[in-house]
Amino acid sequence: MALLVHLFTITTWLSTLLIPLLASALSFNYSSFSPLSDDNITYQRAYPDSNRVIQLPPNPATAGRATYNKPMHLWDKTTRNLADFTTHFSFVIDSQKRTICADGLAFFLAPQGAPAIANDDKGGGSLGLTKDIEPLNSSVPFFAVEFDIFNNTWDPPPTHVGIDINTLESVNTVTWWSDVGGGRRNEAWINYNSSTHNLSVAFTGFRENTTVIQYLDYQVDLRLHLPEYVTLGFSMATGSAYAVFSIHSWEFSSSLEMDDNFSTNPVLPPRRRGKNRTILIVGLSLGGGVLIGVLALIIWVTGIGRKRYDEDDNEGNNQGLNEYVDYEFELSGPRKYSYKELSQATNNFSDEQKLGQGGFGGVYKGISGETNAYVAVKKVSKGSKQGLKEYASEVKVISRLRHRNLVQLLGWCHEKNELLLVYEFMPNGSLDSHLFEENRFLTWELRYKIAQNLAAGLLYLQEEWDQCVLLRDIKSSNIMLDSNFKAKIGDFGLARLVEHSKGSETTVLAGTLGYMAPECAMSGKASKESDVYSFGIVVLEIACGRKSIDHTMDKQGNVSLLQWVWELYSDGKLLQGADPRLCGEFDEQEVGRLMMVGLWCAHPDESLRGSMGEAIRVLNFEAPLPILPPKMPVPTCLYPPVGMLTVDGIDSKGRTM
């Protein structure tokens, strides 16, 4: 009987993870487009040509669309859950050397069944998204990311990329360094995180014949603008002037957690009801149940579920989680706290005790009743889709590590449907607050020591511990400062363990835009070298006092810190990149050395980056400065598979999703 109870508990828990994914995903991948009939894509005035690309005829005053026929379930009315989605596509806009060209191309979401382009609509400034007469007040709601090459009255002056919501007057734009005259191929990645409502866009541009990656983001709750089910695709248009528009490839993936109450009945998009639909639902339910039962039995037989269940411990609260996780956590070192202890320590998690908020949830200051010392309590958000995974990873990884430059995990708790982690308290907070907030300041001496502390912590993780720890999300907001401003690495939620002989892992894309190595963003490959890249970016932030991506950087729209510093290096003006708030109060040799190490570690070619040991020797003046090319090299790949963009996610505002 006890065995059956355990099997049922674990089966129920596993079903909460498997069934929602089974019921709600939409995913497809087109590396090219067949000129033959395709039942999954509807074309209107645009068509796949003999080159297997979707093309809009190069004629004046023409609008066209290509839409995917199956609807995307954007949000669920019952639970109010919102989908995550990501897409990657490649395209060409070719002016064919014309000095005046128009109009643009857009990726869009619109209500399922939205009207097609009317016969009398000529495109132009509407980009085929709205009726010609209502570009600024559409009668049909839509969301779009536009690549606009013509300056209408509502547009910013240059060629730009914009985010549109129900109007062609974009809610956010950035100058696009396009090469329309050269007709070069572009890449774009669009990612939406339902927990933070952050939409991030990355796309290629060209400067001085060099490919660069630009960024744009906006925070929006799409439930407020679009219905539950939407259609998705591309629209493109010409005006009195024109260009050649073509889509070369398209990948898309979305996922929606359908039921907060863990229903085992998959919910499918509305469609024709009948026998086949009934068979499909029953088949999925039975098949999922058999799979879950087998997995549960394996877990039990291998011993994970053999620990006696304490019915008085957390009755009705995270029972499946407790049975699975307690066994391993109790071997890890940090102690188990009760929810009551942590609630009392943080004054019932009051706002007055809150230290900060991220994509994972909130962090609260508390007083340990056992030691009467301050602690920091991380309360994982119930809306965080990676909460359970990050929670388990953090306990199992960080609890086994011991180093002066790592934040110490003191304990854990999972009761009352809450996931909580207890850390040593870091009085001076996170590094980013001291670098970027006006009312805080770090002297150069402290900055240089912080960089050395961070390097020492990473060397331990990469070379000195039993296994290699890949952090996958090194950024200034994850570097904590104690009372003496000693730096400690403080977030292991995305960490992975690999053998030293392997040194890398291919997984879903994880990290933060601006800190992520090109090869990691393009292939999902996390490695020691990709963590070194992130270290290099943080080092540049320390030296320059600027964010890795900063839209206010200069009038030319240079938003990449790495590109900006490399240009200073090319011009022989590296010291001019030092944080102006230092007012020249710094050691010039140390500034130059730190910035050179930053460029070296953030080299676009992973094989040419320094190791952490080499970086430490340079920072300690024990090795010569690295030799770098005068111009920033171009990343060797620009094609991240969309499947790598769907789980851990990224956020250009510096939050982990």
From the number of C-beta atoms within 10 Å of its C-beta (0-12, 13-18, 19+), residue 367 rates as middle
CA angle 343, 348, 349 (to 5 degrees): 95
Question: Coil, strand or helix: which one is 111?
Answer: strand
Query: At 557, which amino acid appears?
Result: G
Bridge partner residues of 205 (DSSP): 212
Which one from 94, 179, 473, 579 is the annotated catalytic residue? 473
Give CA–CA dist 197/599, Å, rounded: 33
From the number of C-beta atoms within 10 Å of its C-beta (0-12, 13-18, 19+), residue 1 rates as exposed
| Token digits of residue 495 | 């960490």
Query: At 588, which amino acid appears?
Result: E
Spell out where 59-170 has E strands: 63-73, 84-94, 104-111, 143-148, 160-165
Return all residues near 237 (Cβ < 8 A) that are at least 6 apart: 56, 62, 63, 64, 102, 103, 104, 123, 124, 126, 127, 128
Q: Are 135 and 125 in contact (CB under 8 A)?
A: yes
Query: What is the per-residue DSSP string for 261-291?
Result: T--SS----S---SHHHHHHHHHHHHHHHHH
Q: Are 617 and 163 in contact (CB under 8 A)?
A: no
Confirm or deny that 379 is annotated as ligand binding.
yes
Could you tell me where the DSSP H helices lie in 204-333? 275-301, 319-329
H/E stretch holding 179 reads none
- For the question of residue 473 being annotated catalytic, the response is yes
Which CA distances in Å does 210 have to 178, 184, 325, 485, 527? 11, 12, 49, 40, 26
Gyration radius of the chain's alpha carbons: 26
Could you tell me where the DSSP H helices lie in 365-426? 387-398
From the number of C-beta atoms within 10 Å of its C-beta (0-12, 13-18, 19+), residue 231 rates as buried
Question: Coil, strand or helix: which one is 487?
Answer: strand
Query: At 287, which amino acid appears?
Result: G
**Residues comprising the chain, all counted:** 657
Give CA–CA dist 463/478, Å, rounded: 21
Give CA–CA dist 224/220, Å, rounded: 8
Q: Cα-Cα-Cα-Cα dihedral of 479, 494, 201, 49, to 10°?
A: 150
| Binding residue ranges for ATP | 379
| Binding residue ranges | 379
- Residues marked active site are found at 473
